[in-house]
Structure 1
Amino acid sequence: MNILKVALMACVLSHFSCKVNDHNLKTTEIKVEAPFKMPTIKIPDFSNCKQFLITDFGAVLGDKELISKAIADAITEANKNAGGVVVIPEGEWITKKIHLKSNVNLHLNKGAVLLFSENPQDYLPAVHTTWEGMECYNYSPLIYAFNCENIAITGPGKLKAKMDVWEKWFARPEPHMQSLKRLYNLAAYNKPVAQRQMVNDTAHFRPQFIQFNRSKHILLEGVSIENSPFWTIHPYLSKDVVIRNLNVYAHGHNNDGVDPEMSENVLIENCVFDQGDDAIAVKSGRNQDAWRLNTPCKNIVMRHCTMKNGHQLLAIGSELSGGIENVFVENCKVVDGAKMFHLVFIKTNERRGGYVKNIYVENIRAGAIQNGILGIETDVFYQWRDLVPTIERRLTPIHDVYLKNVKATKTEFLSRILGQEALPVKNIFLNNVEVDSISQQKHIHEHVLNFSTTPN
């Protein structure tokens, strides 16, 4: 009993509170301060759980089949134990896909590397996943959790993707574009997800590295991540997610760092992102598919992070059809020499609908930014503009965006806000937002109501 009291006292002193269940799996509650009402986030604590070493399940260095089977068997045993830690020891362990189960912590020891195969066949059979905001059956994410709770990926080791095949799929030739069109129409006309089978010889829809799908109470802590076929970390329709103390490097096509999508109560802190696309991209699905799911992305907090590269520090959209609200980014920095277009970029188009509101960005420092501090555009289509028609037109209300204490050395503009005449962007407040050198126009605005900029 005294030991239990000491453990509970330690939790209180570290601003956490713990609950102990009938097993050895505990729950940690994290309270996060934000400019909006932020619910307490509940994540698992596996510190007292039994460990399952993969070499005890037959893993042998260099043997992909034995390693993959051992990891799967260890996950099954940990799940049966109602709380367990699957341990990856020191060494480079090549593996196929990993499917997590509830009450399981995948832990990588110091010096451990999980090297994910470059063979697409190792990520079959197809699973219920997404491609750019549309649900479908596609290659499994390299690490995948579906309808799980109390899951974690932790430790000082590394997750690494072999890119031999995936990098060849970065190109988007005509057969790939035709597959995009097919999925767009299947989703637009509400065809069952089971009919949206996108694995064939030519679609080449690359899988996410890590996807938490319809899951809750999730911890991702400590690991390094190198390379990714597609989006790196993708909490999708998930709740209570903590991502902290990561070092992420992925410079391939569409290599966002974290893409919270239709998820809520997400904390991202003390991470380093070095990305080939957006560092953090908050999303909520595309068009009719998201209107069907009707789930906003909300209560997203990112703090104390460093960006070495990335298209934007914070991107919102363009897949935002379920709505995005309550996003708070604070005390982050972009290193000098980083290649970045905007610090904050909100993007949508006439097909998206949804909404964006209550976006707060505070205490940010950056060097030179290629375009500007704040960009809001309502006509962003990329390759989709001429690929497929607009089936139903829905505009996106965008309002209540607050930037405070933001500093960069050089930009083209401070803000560029391109609203629509039928639905102007409104309530945009910049307080002590400064750039040492602006090469073009300070503010470029179309169809904006109630814009304010003030010194501190």
Structure 2
Amino acid sequence: MKKSNALLILICLIAFHSCNTETTSVNIKEITVEAPFYMPTIKIPDFSNSKELLITEFGAIEGDKNANSKAISNAIHEANKIGGGIVVIPKGEWLTKKIHLKSNVNLHLNEGAVLLFSEDPKDYLPPVKTTWEGMECYNYSPLIYAYECKNIAITGKGKLKAKMDVWQKWFERPSTHMNSLKHLYNLASKGVPVNERQMVNDTSNLRPQFIQLNRSENILLEGITITDSPFWVIHPFLSKDIVIKNVKVRAHGHNNDGVDPEMSQNMLIENCVFDQGDDAIALKSGRNQDAWRLNTPTKNVVIKNCIVKNGHQLLAIGSELSGGIENIFMDSCKVVDGAELNHLVFIKTNERRGGYVENVHVRNIEAGKIEKGVLGIETDVLYQWRNLVPTYERRLTPIKNIHLENIKSTDVKFISRVLGQKELPVENLYLKSVFTDTIRDKKHVHENILSFID
């Protein structure tokens, strides 16, 4: 009996070990990135030894939204099941509903392939755990969504495109939409659990992000073109080890930022082109109480060799920065002549945010005319929220160690405009070799700043 029991235990242990041994065909590459601060190597997936899974072999049919959505979902499931696979979108236009990625999956768009995302909000239900302007909630699924995934990629020379028929109607902010935003703000401020923040109804109209990478790691976006978006275009949230390279984004709708890293770390954005209706690259780290709860800064972000054709700012920091922003390096980027730009670098916060901004380095930037200036720092930016909702808790934002070097532009209103707070001045601003042909107003407009070197 004892021998039988021992044998049974051994068999169970072997079976348990077999069930819990993860086999994968996905290798990991480590990318070394130089920066003026310690920058960890970035780990990204390599699918070169993984199996290709063509969506037409899973029942995809051009023009058939339901068939395509099901085929892509089944191919993603299979790629995940076998420990790593490349879900291939062939040449043609493939209308689809939402796409939910899984670990060890590379969504690959061949040249000439277009994934066209439905404009029907019902195609992005049931609601998922996501965010809206720095507050967690349950809302419509992002068009492409990854939650707690590892080793994921979206690659290829094809295009991702959003049908905008309905979303563009949602760009307006009627009173019912603003009331829903007030409701979400109050829920988040009072610490109501996220699963009770259900924001899908007939009037909230909280538009989904195009791509949200939520609580995920080892991520590669390479080569793709993204056109139009209901909301923010690429949104890494609470994620790490991310490379975005050779990606082209064109989206001119409301809140159409290009990339919004939020509470995310160890990231490279390289050789990308942005043509935006809002900020090109906007670094964020959550809003107020929600971010203080999650307590995760956006950190170690390098941006290199990018081109901006339009956008409110080349680099925006905030205003959702309550988790903190640190170790940011932008190098060798260009804003094309004729771009409608407010600032090259704009740091914005207010008395509700808390958080901090420190150790920002921007070098080797070329631009034409800028509507406002090279650098703006404002500490009282509340937009429509000033009178919409109350301040539940007052926390100021320390801002220090901001370095700009070798910046060239043709026409600006000012070089720098820094509006710090008397209680907490901006510290350590360094401008070196910042040149412009024309200054339309004052060179520097400064309030409450300590240690400025020009």
Shared fold (TM-score greater than 0.5)? yes
Cα distance per residue 1:323-347 (max 9 Å; x no partner): 0000000000000000000000000
For 1:370 and 1:299, the matched residues in 2 are separated by 29
The residue number in structure 2 matching 1:157 is 158
1:49-198 superposed matches below 5 A: 49-198=50-199
- In the TM superposition, residue 48 of structure 1 has moved relative to its aligned partner by 1.2
For 1:326 and 1:97, the matched residues in 2 are separated by 34
The residue number in structure 2 matching 1:304 is 305
TM-score (norm 2): 0.95
Extract structure 1 runs of 4+ deviating beyond 3 A.
Answer: none
Q: Which residue type is aligned with residue 34 of structure 2?
A: E
Q: Which residue type is aligned with residue 107 of structure 1?
A: H
For 1:66 and 1:118, the matched residues in 2 are separated by 17
Cα contact 2:45–2:151 (8 A) shared by 1: yes
Structure 2: segments with no counterpart, 5+ residues: 1-21
For 2:170 and 2:26, the matched residues in 1 are separated by 41
For 2:206 and 2:384, the matched residues in 1 are separated by 15
Cα distance per residue 1:256-299 (max 9 Å; x no partner): 00000000001000000000000000000000000000000000
- In the TM superposition, residue 435 of structure 1 has moved relative to its aligned partner by 1.0
1:398-409 superposed matches below 5 A: 398-409=399-410
Cα distance per residue 1:337-393 (max 9 Å; x no partner): 000000000000000000000000000000000000000000000110010011100
Cα distance per residue 1:153-182 (max 9 Å; x no partner): 000000000000000000000000100110
The residue number in structure 2 matching 1:377 is 378
For 1:433 and 1:337, the matched residues in 2 are separated by 20
Q: Which residue type is aligned with residue 107 of structure 2?
A: L
- In the TM superposition, residue 24 of structure 1 has moved relative to its aligned partner by 2.4
- 1:130 alignment partner, SS class: strand
- In the TM superposition, residue 23 of structure 1 has moved relative to its aligned partner by 3.6
For 2:24 and 2:65, the matched residues in 1 are separated by 33
Cα contact 2:23–2:83 (8 A) shared by 1: no
- 1:407 alignment partner, SS class: strand
Q: Which residue type is aligned with residue 401 of structure 2?
A: D
The residue number in structure 2 matching 1:420 is 421
Larger of the two Rg values belongs to structure: 2
Q: Which residue type is aligned with residue 313 of structure 1?
A: L
The residue number in structure 2 matching 1:335 is 336
For 2:331 and 2:241, the matched residues in 1 are separated by 19
Q: Which residue type is aligned with residue 201 of structure 1?
A: D
- In the TM superposition, residue 22 of structure 1 has moved relative to its aligned partner by 5.5
Cα distance per residue 1:213-263 (max 9 Å; x no partner): 000000000000000000000000000000000111000000000000000
Q: Which residue type is aligned with residue 122 of structure 2?
A: Q
What is the aligned length? 433
Cα distance per residue 1:195-230 (max 9 Å; x no partner): 000000000000000000000000000000000000
- 1:349 alignment partner, SS class: coil
For 2:381 and 2:24, the matched residues in 1 are separated by 50
The residue number in structure 1 matching 2:354 is 353
For 1:235 and 1:136, the matched residues in 2 are separated by 16
For 1:397 and 1:25, the matched residues in 2 are separated by 42
For 2:231 and 2:24, the matched residues in 1 are separated by 37
For 1:155 and 1:47, the matched residues in 2 are separated by 13
- In the TM superposition, residue 412 of structure 1 has moved relative to its aligned partner by 0.3
- In the TM superposition, residue 25 of structure 1 has moved relative to its aligned partner by 1.3
Structure 1: segments with no counterpart, 5+ residues: 1-20
The residue number in structure 1 matching 2:3 is none
For 1:439 and 1:223, the matched residues in 2 are separated by 39
Q: Which residue type is aligned with residue 431 of structure 1?
A: K
For 1:351 and 1:435, the matched residues in 2 are separated by 35
1:175-254 superposed matches below 5 A: 175-254=176-255
Over 3 Å counting, the alpha-carbon distance change for 1:23 and 1:390 in structure 2 is closer
The residue number in structure 2 matching 1:15 is none
